[in-house]
Amino acid sequence: MPAPRNKLKAALKAGKLQTGLWLSLANSYSAELLGDAGFSWLLIDGEHSPNDLQTIMQQLQVLRFSESSVLVRPPIGETWIIKQLLDAGAQSLLIPMVETREQAEVLAKAVRYPPHGTRGVGAGGARASRFSYIADYTATADAEILLMVQVESMKAVEAIDEIATVDGVDCVFIGPADLSADMGFLGNPYAPEVTAVIEGAIKRILKHGKAVGIYMANPELAKHFINLGATFIAIGNDAGLLTQGSKQLRAIYE
């Protein structure tokens, strides 16, 4: 039996639009609820949310049978944590703050087994191989891992051609919040100057045949970037939905 098919990786390779939601509440109950909401994908965030390996694994467990694909974003792109997340069952990773080709190359190796990578061979007793019930896991896992790298600074944008050409990087994801801050527009990711940089970045990424992702909660700008070729679109987060819904409900009775 081979490793489970990564339908998100296949969809992005085919150029199909995939819209989804950040999971930042660090809670398996709310994750399970959103697993039935019909999003193309859900991302368990470990960078800006109070998640650790245990809470991430719990959410992977409750989302196992969700129709939504599941990704994990670790707090940092270190080999040790990537190894743990993969063995815990994550097949798709979004790595924050990637600024150079060298970083991207290290990450691409970290998600692959030798001889093509540096991932430690220990999934036989881990959740990734269903505790060895997937007999061919190590022989087939590499092909089903989806690696996304996140560009969030002008240094990263300047190196985007080098990053996008790294073998093993499947998608380059643009983070407007940090990028806008780096450009001097803290708190204003919709500034025209930021939009212009993103437009240029999208064109350059597509030129190298890689999928383009972006976090864009503004529907009009999201549609604009989709029209330019972005296919992996984060349209919000669970905490935001709860906040928005709470305000709307309270306003009815004010």
Q: Which residues are catalytic?
A: 48
Nearest to 171 by CA among 85, 238, 103, 104: 104
Give 206's contacts (C-beta < 8 A, 6+ positions apart): 212, 229
Q: Characterise 103 by phi-psi region: left (phi > 0), alpha (psi -120 to 50), beta (else).
A: alpha
Closest CA to 9 of 133, 141, 159, 206: 141
Q: Which of 65, 19, 62, 26 is nearest to 44 (CA)?
A: 26
3-state SS, one letter per residue, for 126-150: CHHHCCCCCCCHHHHHHHHCEEEEE
Cis peptide before 192, with omega less than 30 degrees from 0? no
Backbone torsions φ then ψ of 109, nearest 5 degrees: -75, -35
Q: Which of 32, 28, 79 is nearest to 55 (CA)?
A: 28
